């Protein structure tokens, strides 16, 4: 079944002509309904296997959407055009009738007649929640065995959505002025609709293949990718940088297993508190799950450690290569949402809420700075923050101070009750070219797991206490950072600019191109000298004309391109094409090296694991 819901000022419809041989008998040929949610509904072929199940699922979604917009007046409007596989007409009619009867107790229900061509006028309200869609099947209605308690509760959770501005004012999502905050509006739409399915390929997928970075692996489970040398380099540099920053912050690096016994007493309870689906495997007649975060291993290490208040905050860190979540297949796409991913996880054990908030502030700054250094500025991200009403009211000044640091409004989700292990969570989101939002950095204040895992520290008075735990990923999944950088580049291309990566991440920082064979030796020496300076330089020794070599270097997004002929060989001045700049810049050898080094200072460096000469490189894609 497919549903399109429109929160409307009104809808007016009129039956004009029979669409099937035996349409429903008309009670009202024409009707107008004011202030309502109109549910355009397509009943599908697959729904016929279990009418009761699909009706129950439809009612659940209709109630959820109506509650979100606080509207009790609804219109059920049969609309076959949402699907290419409609059910039989008599079955669809019976579903619409059953929906009407079951909803009458909670709503004022109007139903448009089935089997008629109708003219209609509708006026949508136009706020972020006014147009929502849902798609579900009998299977999705019946099979919830792989859901944790937390996932089931999350589906039924009532959220209150607001926009919180840096001045501390709360605004209704539907009435906020988004004229200067278009991406925030898209985030609000995305979060409210909760639709993670992707119906078209996002631009970064074509780019990751074209740049010979990443590709799908057909021999593996969906959401597990292959990385070519350029993609592996970018991923390795990001991994090294995030780890470097966390260690500088005070992270204590550990390594933990990727699988855990599902019957372990503390783990089995935690699994039910975490909203994620697990991969499960069997070994020696025991059931194990593949980790979806570093929490389990780090918490078990902390449980066995001897900890004093003097050691707090204790910041345990692991870059999990890999973590696993069995995401739904329709949600998997490129680097955005995967089943196997690399997650930097830094948990801080803190003594109390005061220390938690102090540390939370430092980590907030760390996350912003890490993303900025990776090439994602404040203008590229939107923040969502989730908490309970009670925590918000008691700690409003603390929360508003975070928003002021970001310097722009955020999306705030509040709940009446806490169903998760955390009382506060923020996410920095990237909104892509398909208007899908994806979380990058995140941190949480966890008030449950110190006690659940029986982690203890000795306090000043020699008493044993359970710490609070902060859950920080300063960048989010490494793969998702690459996704955001490529989607950002796609936005640049749409604006008529050249797509690019930050120089410190670019596989080729300098491409040296000889004009003709007479210049090969000198060009090679220049490229080798630049390479010895700790710069990723390569040499195009192929027998192609110069124009084609330059075009291919630009297609590869090389940061700088140097063409060497007679003039350059004699003068010592080298014409440098800098990506993103229109004009050539004449530089001496030392100036080229200083230009690259000044833009990569403090960042990790690795040479690309491909031959120096382009003629010796295999082609991985194409």
- How does pLDDT run across 189-243, given as a tens digit for each residue? 888 766 666 678 999 999 999 999 999 999 999 899 999 999 999 999 999 999 9
Which residues form the domain of 36? 2-143
φ, ψ of residue 501 in degrees (nearest 5): -110, 155
| Domain membership flag for residue 164 | no
| Domain membership flag for residue 621 | no
pLDDT tens, position by position, 120-172? 999 999 887 888 888 888 765 444 445 555 555 555 567 789 999 999 999 99
Higher-confidence position of 66 and 270: 66
| Domain membership flag for residue 32 | yes
pLDDT tens, position by position, 575-622? 999 999 989 999 999 999 999 999 999 999 999 999 999 999 999 986
Question: What CATH number is associated with residue 474?
Answer: 3.30.930.10
Q: Distance between the two ends of the chain, CA-based, in angstroms? A: 39
Boundary of a domain, candidates 143, 160, 178? 143
pLDDT tens, position by position, 383-416? 999 999 999 999 999 999 999 999 999 999 999 8
| Domain membership flag for residue 29 | yes
Alpha carbon distances (Å) from 311 to 11, 247, 296, 315, 513: 64, 16, 21, 9, 56
Question: What CATH number is associated with residue 608?
Answer: 3.40.50.800
Question: What CATH number is associated with residue 56?
Answer: 3.50.80.10
The H or E element that residue 121 is part of is strand 116-124
Taking the model in full, what pTM does it have? 0.79
274 closest CA partner among 519, 481, 444, 130: 444
Do 468 and 548 belong to one domain?
no
Kindly state the DSSP code that residue 556 receives in the 8-state scheme: T
| Domain membership flag for residue 150 | no
Do 297 and 400 belong to one domain?
yes
| Domain membership flag for residue 268 | no
| Domain membership flag for residue 270 | no
CA–CA separation, 30 vs 213, rounded Å? 58
């Amino acid at each position: 079944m497919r549903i399109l819901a429109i929160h409307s000022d009104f809808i007016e419809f009129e039956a004009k002509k029979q669409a099937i041989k035996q349409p429903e008998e008309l009670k009202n040929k024409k009707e107008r309904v004011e202030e309502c949610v109109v549910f355009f509904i397509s009943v599908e072929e697959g729904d016929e296997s279990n009418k009761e199940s699909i009706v129950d699922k439809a009612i659940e979604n209709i109630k959820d959407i109506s509650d979100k917009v606080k509207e009790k007046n609804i219109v059920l409007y049969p609309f076959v055009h949402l699907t290419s596989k409609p059910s039989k007409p008599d079955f669809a009619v019976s579903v619409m009738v059953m929906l009407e009867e079951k909803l009458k107790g909670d709503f004022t229900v109007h139903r448009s007649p089935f089997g008629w061509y109708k003219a209609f006028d509708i006026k949508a309200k136009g706020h972020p929640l006014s147009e929502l869609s849902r798609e579900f099947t009998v299977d999705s209605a019946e099979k919830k065995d792989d859901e944790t308690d937390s996932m089931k509760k999350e589906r039924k959770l009532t959220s209150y959505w607001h926009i919180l501005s840096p001045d501390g004012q709360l605004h209704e999502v539907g009435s906020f002025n988004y004229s200067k905050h278009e991406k925030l509006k898209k985030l609000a739409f995305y979060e409210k609709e909760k639709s993670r399915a992707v119906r078209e390929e996002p631009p970064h997928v074509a780019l990751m293949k074209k740049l010979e970075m990443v590709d799908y692996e057909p021999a593996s489970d969906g959401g597990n990718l292959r990385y070519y040398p350029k993609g592996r380099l970018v991923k390795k540099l990001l991994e090294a940088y995030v780890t470097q920053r966390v260690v500088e912050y005070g992270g204590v690096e550990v390594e933990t297993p990727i699988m855990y016994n599902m019957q372990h007493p503390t783990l089995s309870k935690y699994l039910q508190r975490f909203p994620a689906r697990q991969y499960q495997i069997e070994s020696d007649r025991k059931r194990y799950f593949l980790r979806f975060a570093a929490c389990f291993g780090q918490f078990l290490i902390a449980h066995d450690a001897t900890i004093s208040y003097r050691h707090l905050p204790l910041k345990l860190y692991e870059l999990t290569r890999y973590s696993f979540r069995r995401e739904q297949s329709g949600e998997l796409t490129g680097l955005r949402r995967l089943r196997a991913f690399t997650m930097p996880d830094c948990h801080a054990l803190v003594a109390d809420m005061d220390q938690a908030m102090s540390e939370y502030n430092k980590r907030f700054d760390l996350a912003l700075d890490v993303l900025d250094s990776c090439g994602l500025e404040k203008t590229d991200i939107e923040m969502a923050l989730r908490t309970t009403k009670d925590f918000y009211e008691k700690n409003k000044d603390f929360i508003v101070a975070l928003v002021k640091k970001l310097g722009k409004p955020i999306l705030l989700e509040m709940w009446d009750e806490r169903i998760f292990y955390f009382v506060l969570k923020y996410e920095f989101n990237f909104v892509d070219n398909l208007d899908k939002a994806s979380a990058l950095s995140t941190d949480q204040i966890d008030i449950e797991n110190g006690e659940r895992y029986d982690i203890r520290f000795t306090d000043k008075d020699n008493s044993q206490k359970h710490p609070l735990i902060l859950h920080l990923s300063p960048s989010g999944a490494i793969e998702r950072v690459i996704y955001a950088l490529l989607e950002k580049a796609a936005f640049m291309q749409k604006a008529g600019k050249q797509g690019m990566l930050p120089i410190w991440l670019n596989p080729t920082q300098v491409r040296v191109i000889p004009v003709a064979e007479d210049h090969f030796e000198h060009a090679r020496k220049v490229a080798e000298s630049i390479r010895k300076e700790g710069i990723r330089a390569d040499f195009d020794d192929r027998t192609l004309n110069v124009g084609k070599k330059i075009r291919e270097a630009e297609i590869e997004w090389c940061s700088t391109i140097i063409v060497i002929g007679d003039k350059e060989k004699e003068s010592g001045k080298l014409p440098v094409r800098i990506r993103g700049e229109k004009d050539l810049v004449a530089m001496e050898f030392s100036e080229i090296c200083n230009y690259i080094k000044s833009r990569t200072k403090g960042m990790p460096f690795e040479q690309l694991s491909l031959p120096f000469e382009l003629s010796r490189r295999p082609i991985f894609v194409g």
